[in-house]
């Protein structure tokens, strides 16, 4: 039961986070590192992939793809969180990010990766 509740939280959380990229893009644009080109497009692409991978979590047959995609995105987002740490204190949309919050958010990335990995489906081979 705990694993089902956890999965529902992940699905809703990632879909909502993805939608937020489209509803409040300014907060995300502020923390995209300057050396990355096309920040508007990157913001919308990342939001779209968060929604897509969040939806893939729903079905057991596609869950591994969603888990793998989200873990890769979390790894790719590390420069964004490092940039946020360097900018702190900073307003990200309507959220005020203090240096402590930026550090916590940076350390949350591996926790989220492990949480997602917990939902990875393993294929069991029949015993002969």
pLDDT digits (tens, 9 = 90+) for 41-91: 999 999 999 999 999 999 999 999 999 999 999 999 999 899 889 999 988
- pLDDT in the model for residue 30: 85
- pLDDT in the model for residue 92: 80
pTM of the model: 0.89
**Which residue ranges make up each domain of the chain?**
2-116
pLDDT surpassing 90 at residue 19: yes
Q: Provide long-range contacts, Cβ within 8 A and 24+ apart, for 81-86.
A: 81/105, 81/106, 81/109, 82/106, 83/31, 83/32, 83/33, 84/31
Of the pLDDT bands very low, low, confident and very high (cuts 50, 70, 90), residue 128 is low
């Amino acid at each position: 039961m705990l694993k089902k509740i956890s999965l529902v939280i992940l699905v809703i959380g990632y879909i909502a986070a993805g939608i937020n990229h489209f509803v409040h893009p300014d907060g995300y644009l502020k923390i995209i590192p300057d050396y990355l080109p096309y920040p508007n497009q990157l913001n919308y692409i990342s939001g779209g992939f968060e929604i897509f991978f969040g939806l893939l979590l729903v079905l057991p047959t596609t869950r591994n793809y969603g888990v793998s995609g989200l873990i890769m995105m979390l790894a790719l987002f590390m420069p964004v969180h490092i940039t946020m740490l360097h900018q702190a204190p900073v307003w990200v949309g309507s959220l005020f990010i203090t240096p402590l919050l930026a550090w916590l958010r940076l350390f949350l990335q591996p926790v989220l990766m492990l949480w997602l990995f917990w939902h990875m489906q393993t294929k069991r081979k029949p015993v002969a």
